[in-house]
Amino acid sequence: MASGAVALIPVFIFIVMITVVYMRLTRKCYPRGSQLIAVSEFLTYTMDKFLNEMAREKPIRFTLHTLMLATNNYSNMLGSGGFGSVYKGTFSDGTIVAVKVLNGSSDKIEEQFMAEVGTIGRVHHFNLLRLFGFCIEGNIRALVYEYMGNGSLDKYLFNKNKALGFKKLQEIAVGTAKGISYLHEECQQRIVHYDIKPENILLDDNLCPKVADFGLAKLCNRENTHITMTGGRGTPGYAAPELWMPFPITYKCDVYSFGMLLFEIIGGRRNLNINLAEESKEWFPRWVWIKFDSGDLNDMITECGIEENDKEMAERMVKIALWCVQYKAEMRPVMSVVVKMLEGSEEIPQPVNPFQHFMDSSFPVQSVQTSEIDTSFTSGSSLTTSKPGTLNATPIMSKQGIQIASSQD
């Protein structure tokens, strides 16, 4: 009997050891008491952090007091204009912002405020200025944006110092085109900006461009080919013809404005300069077409101060600009194709004269007959001519979003 009891001792010890190990493993897998509370608090903190980050993706409503503290009572003005004034500010977490305080007639303020919050407030893209939030308090309407340390593009384009090289300007053109393309083609509702110009292209600390100022912007359904508008929009010199003439309005008015911006990037000057000695150079886009049409484009590029290694890119930009500013909107490419053309991944058809509608005998330019246009592409496709003066669009043209209008239109 005693020997049997002795034999059971090892078994008992083994059972005790298994029990101890099991209890320890159970405690690790299923914490109790304070351990359960700690895990619960951690999960709550993580979820709160996640929800807060999600909330920051949408525009925040700031109080007037918060903005006064951030801007040190609006003591550092960055600029002002007809829309209002912009002040630099810093939040308590170190985030630097630009605060635009709107002013003017109450109707205009409300319209601009709703346009900006209703468009840029709902989208995010690397090449679009981010709207952090807004303030509505009393008669105050303010918009809070990310701060752009290098200001607007016009300060660099029209500066005699030429601080930016042509390669960097080309990168800025590509980034700007990508931002507009996103608005037109990738948003749930198409957004038309209506006011693309150098003053509305802002540069961050790395000189990356961001499209800004959506005070004239408008949402439109993709199913609607034409846009209903009340009142004029855009800036003279950049606004498409359909914005100031009784023509149907489409999103391609932004393509026209981008084309005018491209001309200014190429020339490093304002498109209109009435102080020049040569009258033919007063309006730069038309002078570019004259040079292009006469085969003197290389001389024009040299006269603009563009270096030899940038001339090929400059020539591409000239052709793209001439397509973008076509008088008829249906002949302009879509912005996603403009991006590909700028990046060199898409061939560019030979441009037709975009200024034929107002060229007169004072400019000795022979009108380009469509039957004489060399429009062959490296892919082997081409524009076919059925009769002089009429062009038929090929699949490549359709792919590029360019439709050829008949001469009778």
- The one catalytic residue in 107, 195, 293, 299 is 195
| pTM, 2 dp | 0.75
The answer to whether 195 is a known catalytic residue is yes
What is the per-residue pLDDT across 87-100, written as a single tens digit (0 to 9) for each? 999 999 999 999 99
Confidence bin at 35 (pLDDT 50/70/90): low
Q: Residue positions in the annotated binding site for ATP?
A: 100
Rounded CA separation 115/113 (Å): 5
Per-residue confidence (pLDDT) for residue 245, from 0 to 100:
81
With cut-offs at 50, 70 and 90, classify the pLDDT of residue 381.
very low
Residue 139 has pLDDT above 90, yes or no: no
For the segment 72-82, the average pLDDT, to the nearest whole number, is: 90
Helix (H, G, I), strand (E, B) or coil at 107: helix
**pLDDT greater than 60 at residue 230:** no
Average pLDDT over residues 47-76: 82
Q: What is the mean pLDDT of residues 265-277?
A: 90
Of 12 and 317, the structure prediction assigns the larger pLDDT to 317
Average pLDDT over the chain reads: 80
Q: What pLDDT band is residue 394 in, cutting at 50, 70 and 90?
A: very low
Most confident by average pLDDT, 77-81, 217-221, 363-367: 77-81
Domains and CATH numbers, the chain: 60-146 (3.30.200.20), 154-367 (1.10.510.10)
Cβ neighbours of residue 332 closer than 8 Å, sequence gap 6 or more:
252, 255, 256, 259, 323, 324, 325, 326, 401, 402
Q: In the predicted model, is pLDDT for residue 195 greater than 70?
A: yes
Given a cut of 70, is residue 382 above it in pLDDT?
no
- pLDDT reading at 390 higher than 50: no
Predicted pLDDT at 406: 36
Mean pLDDT to the nearest integer, 206-232: 73
Whole-angstrom Cα distance, residue 85 to residue 380?
54
d(CA 298, CA 234): 32
Backbone phi, then psi, for 77, in 5-degree steps?
-80, 130
Residues tagged in the binding site annotation: 100
User: Does residue 335 carry a pLDDT above 90?
Assistant: yes
| Residues 146/132, Cβ–Cβ less than 8 Å | yes
Q: H helices of 93-153, where?
A: 106-119
Predicted confidence at residue 46, as pLDDT, reads 66
Q: What is the mean pLDDT of residues 244-267?
A: 93
**Residue 137 pLDDT > 80, yes or no?**
yes
